[in-house]
C-alpha cells in the first residue's frame, strides 16, 4: 500500500469543526498521511506545520 522505499510515515487525524454546542469537537473526519524515503523525516516543527495545514481541511 505504501511506495517502495518508504522509511518514515506520519498519520495525522483531521478533526471535525465543533458545532455551536461543541458536540462534534472530537470526531475524526479523515486523516492526512505523509510518507518519506528519509528515516525520521518529521521533526516537531514539521509536525506542527502539518497539523496547522490539516486544520484548514
Cα-flanking dihedrals φ and ψ of residue 10, to 5°?
A: -130, 125
Q: Judge contact between 28 and 17, C-beta under 8 A.
A: no
pLDDT tens column, 19-47: 666 665 678 888 989 899 988 878 899 88
Give the pLDDT confidence score for residue 55 in this predicted structure.
80
pTM, full prediction: 0.62
How far apart are alpha carbons 28 and 26 in whole angstroms?
Answer: 6
Amino acid at each position: 500500500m505504501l511506495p517502495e522505499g518508504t522509511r518514515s510515515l506520519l498519520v495525522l487525524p483531521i478533526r471535525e469543526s465543533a458545532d455551536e454546542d461543541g458536540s462534534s469537537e472530537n470526531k475524526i473526519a479523515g486523516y492526512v498521511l505523509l510518507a518519506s524515503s528519509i528515516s525520521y523525516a518529521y521533526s516537531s516543527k514539521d509536525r506542527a506545520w502539518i497539523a496547522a495545514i490539516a486544520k484548514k481541511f
